Amino acid sequence: MIERTLVLIKPDGVERGLAGKIITRFEDAGLKIVGMKLKVVNKDFALKHYTEDLAKRRGAHIREQMVEYISSGPVVAIVLEGVNAIENVRKLTGDTQPLSAQPGTIRGDFSHTSYSYADSSKKPVKNIIHASSGKQDAEHEISLWFAKNELHEYQTVHEKHVF
């Protein structure tokens, strides 16, 4: 199944100069970039990304921290397309808590913080990257971050060999 998913390289990933390395991992896996931009988001926009559902699941204070975090600097927003793109991107990204992320994943290789450290210091978990968690989230997030005319169709060499 060909899918599209949203990936955000969060401010800590951009500030650390990791965008190129992260993008390369997705392209090496055969995923295609169909949209990409650098954007600084304000808190109103961040609240649309981190919906009330997050507050219900994890607490209002977590949502507030995530809003502060994502609006603290530039974000690279990417729409990736490929076979089972949502699941494959999640595997490449690694566990949301960097401490639990396996070596070889983006979070496992580039971050090491934990929920307990973040909670004790009243900071968000700086985990470098966001990836849509499922089909419904991907559709919502892509439409939030990208206009239809910012998403492009083309064929890559991977498609000639995989599809």
- Domains along the chain with CATH numbers: 8-158 (3.30.70.141)
Which is nearest to 6 in space by CA: 119, 137, 157? 137
DSSP 1: -
**Mean pLDDT of the chain, nearest integer:** 93
φ and ψ at residue 141, rounded to 5 degrees? -65, -40
CB atoms near residue 73 (< 10 Å): 14
Overall average pLDDT of the 61-74 stretch: 92
CA distance 143 to 114: 31
**How confident is residue 61, by pLDDT bands cut at 50, 70 and 90?**
confident
pLDDT: which is higher, 158 or 162: 158
Instruction: Look up 161 and say whether it is catalytic.
Output: no
Share of the chain above pLDDT 70, in %: 98
Centroid of chain to Cα 34: 15
Question: Of these residues, 130, 140, 152, 158, which one is catalytic?
Answer: 130
Whole-structure pTM value: 0.93
14-58 tens-digit pLDDT: 999 999 999 999 999 999 999 999 999 999 999 999 988 876 777
